[in-house]
Amino acid sequence: MLYFAYASNLSKEYMLSRCPEAIPIKKVILKGYRLVFNQLADIIQEENESVLGALYVISKQELIKLDRLEGYPDLYDRIIVEVEDEKGNKYDAVAYSMVEKKIEAPPSQYYDILVKGYEDWGLPLDALEKAKNYKK
């Protein structure tokens, strides 16, 4: 199955330490959502916004492991989103969205993992900075 990573799991090293059999596939974009921080990264629906991320292929066992690691269903809910690659191909993928919605700055150590993930996938860091500086 396909998993859309937009936060700490963008870091290939971090993701593979959690799910060693995950296969990194390609960078993608999630339209109609905004990346925000509620201490941890979150996505909220917002027209005319988009979230950068990447697709991984994961097994059912790894999904169960991610559920536990992401605090599903209490901290994060699991949702299905449609993402698009650079060529316009669309994919349905599993993603996580926080249950409780609020805006809070991320801890610096956590943010550094996200920076590494953005660098791993060649994503522009200004998109991450925009999320960090977002005030509702």
Contact in structure between 74 and 97 (CB atoms under 8 Å): no
pLDDT at 135: 86
Is residue 33 annotated as involved in ligand binding? no
**SS3 at position 106:** coil
pLDDT at 121: 98
Question: Which residue(s) pair with 53 in the sheet?
Answer: 28
- Give pTM, 2 decimals: 0.96
Mean pLDDT by 10 residues, the chain (136 residues): 97 96 98 97 97 98 97 97 98 98 94 97 96 89
Instruction: Sketch the domain layout of the chain as residue ranges.
Output: 2-132
Question: Which residue(s) pair with 93 in the sheet?
Answer: 81
Is residue 37 annotated as involved in ligand binding? no
Is residue 118 annotated as involved in ligand binding? no
CATH (one of 3.40.718.10, 3.40.50.2000, 3.10.490.10, 3.40.50.300) for 2-132: 3.10.490.10
Kindly state the greatest CA–CA separation across the chain: 38
Query: Hey, which residues are catalytic here?
Result: 70
